[in-house]
Each structure stands twice: as C-alpha cells, then as structure tokens.
C-alpha cells in the first residue's frame, strides 16, 4: 500500500511539471522581454506583413509570423506576457490583501461591521463580471493602471468571502478563546491566531485567480477597454486578427494559445497547491 501511495504521489509530481515549466517560462519571458524578443513589439514593416510562421526574410526567421502591419508576433507575445504578469501580480496581491483583511475583520468582529462588509460582498458578487469590468474600465479609461484597478475592485469580494467563512470557524476554536482570555487584543488574535490558519486557502484562491485575471485583462483588451495600443497585449493581438482569420489565422491563434496555456497551467498549479496545503487531501 505504501508503494502505491508513493507511486501516486510521483505521478502527481510528474504530471504537474508541464504546468510548472509553462508558468516559469511565462514569468521568465515577462521579466526578460527586453532581451528575449528578437524585434521591437511596435516596429511596423509593411513589406513583411502577414508572413506565415517560420518565414525567413533576409536571413531572419519569423518563428510565429507577422501581423497585418508586419510586426513580429513572437516579440509581441513576449512583451504581452509582461503586461499580463503586471496586471495579475498587482491585481491579485492588492485584491487579496484588501479582501482578506476585510473578511477576517467581518468574521471575527461580527455585528454591524460583518453586515456591512457581507452585504458589500454580496453586491459585488451579484454583478456579471464582464459587464461590471466594462463599466469600470470605461470609467477609469483604458490603461494598465485602469485594468489593474478594475481587477482589484472586482476580485476583492472573493477573498473577503473566503476569509470570512474561514474566520467564522476559527474564532470558536479553543486557542482563540484562550488568547482572548489571556488578554490578547483583537488585532493580535487576528494577526497571530486567525490569519496563519486562513492563509493556505487564500493562497490557493490567489493561484486560481491568476488565470481568471489574465483572461479578464485579455477580454477587456479584446473589446477595446483594456490596454490601449501600441502596447502589446494578448487580448489586443487576438482582436487585431479577428478580421483576417481566413487569410492569416496565426495572428489571433498564437496569442490565443499563449492565453490558454498560461490559464490552464495556473489552474493545474492551483489544484496541486490545494492538494498539498489541505491535510485531508494530502493524506489520501
């Protein structure tokens, strides 16, 4: 039986390796885009417009082809990874921090504070995500900062709901009661006794949200309410090629594949992390 468990664990570890590799490649490309991209992502060369993947012109290989303006798609995908990483990092970290703090306070204090925060969460979660994102994006105008702010305003409620639910269970534990009896302040109890016990579930939620944030950013850019040109964004690249899918399918297909791989990998990583951080699942 022990060998069987070890074998199952080994298969799980080997199965997650492609996701690790893709996420690592995504982060590496985003950080070192200036050195990895063979061309400028905004360089226009109409003489090389709509080159098919693996085209060689003047001894130079365009590995993923070019778009209708002759811009190298590989270079734009690499720089687009930087945009996605910035939005995901800022959005997930800020939304997670704000939502976690509010959720812990609501779950621990209860009363009017809990009611106000809980009703605010219900309101935010009641709106269709895309519709709310479009309205907010128009209000803040298309920009990198605007998209990050939209992500924060939309996703903080998810962390607040998760943190509140965990806190409601933890605040009745014996060690919390003992800490309160010993004269610990509410802030000390929330920081030392509650937060360490909810952080695992919040990390898993954050991992899953990386994919949803990248998808949201790409959707807003695709609809013209996200990252404005000429800054390369995967969503904008998909939108650029939607009118020439028959004659130049690679213009939209390549960034679409990049979005799919990164989102799928982040979800697989989230599943793996949840299994590792949950003692009940880890012992199965």
> Per-residue pLDDT for 98 more than 90?
yes
Concatenating the DSSP letter of every residue in 94-154 gives HHHHHHHHHHHHHHHH-HHHHHHHHHHHHHHHHS-HHHHHHHHHHHH-SSHHHHHHHHHHH
The 8-class DSSP code of residue 91 comes to H
Size of the chain in residues: 284
Query: What 3-state class would DSSP assign to 65?
Result: coil
- Distance in angstroms between the alpha carbons of the first and the last residue of the chain: 12
* Number of domains composing the chain: 1
pTM of this structure: 0.89
> Look-up: residue for tokens 């880890």?
282
Q: Range of 28's domain?
A: 2-282
Specify the pairing of strand 55-57 against strand 60-62.
antiparallel
**Cβ atoms of 22 and 265 closer than 8 Å:** yes
pLDDT per position as a tens digit, 5-17: 444 444 456 678 9
CATH number of the domain that 127 lies in? 1.10.3720.10
pLDDT per position as a tens digit, 114-170: 999 999 999 999 888 888 898 888 888 888 888 999 999 999 999 999 999 999 999
């Amino acid at each position: 039986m022990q060998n069987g468990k070890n074998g199952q664990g080994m298969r799980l570890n080997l199965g997650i390796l492609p996701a690790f590799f893709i996420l690592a490649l995504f982060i590496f490309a985003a950080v070192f885009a200036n050195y990895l991209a063979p061309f400028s992502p905004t360089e226009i060369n109409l003489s090389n417009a709509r080159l098919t993947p693996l085209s060689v012109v003047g001894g130079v290989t365009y590995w993923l082809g070019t778009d209708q303006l002759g811009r190298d798609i590989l270079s734009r995908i690499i720089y687009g990874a930087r945009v996605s990483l910035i939005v995901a990092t800022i959005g997930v970290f800020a939304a997670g921090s704000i939502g976690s703090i509010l959720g812990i306070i609501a779950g621990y204090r209860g009363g009017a504070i809990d009611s106000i925060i809980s009703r605010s969460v219900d309101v935010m979660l009641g709106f269709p995500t895309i519709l709310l994102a479009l309205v907010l994006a128009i209000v803040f105008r298309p920009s990198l900062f605007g998209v990050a702010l939209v992500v924060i305003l939309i996703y903080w409620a998810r962390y607040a709901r998760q943190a509140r639910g965990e806190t409601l269970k933890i605040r009745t534990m014996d060690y919390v009661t003992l800490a309160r009896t010993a004269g610990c302040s509410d802030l000390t109890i929330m920081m030392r006794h509650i937060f360490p016990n909810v952080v695992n579930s919040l990390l898993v939620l954050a991992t899953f949200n990386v994919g949803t944030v990248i998808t949201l950013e790409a959707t807003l850019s695709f609809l013209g309410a996200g990252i404005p040109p000429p800054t390369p964004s995967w969503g904008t690249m998909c939108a650029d090629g939607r009118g020439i899918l028959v004659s130049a399918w690679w213009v939209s297909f390549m960034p679409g594949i990049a979005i799919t791989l990164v989102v799928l990998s982040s979800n697989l990583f989230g599943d793996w992390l949840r299994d590792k951080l949950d003692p009940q699942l880890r012992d199965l």
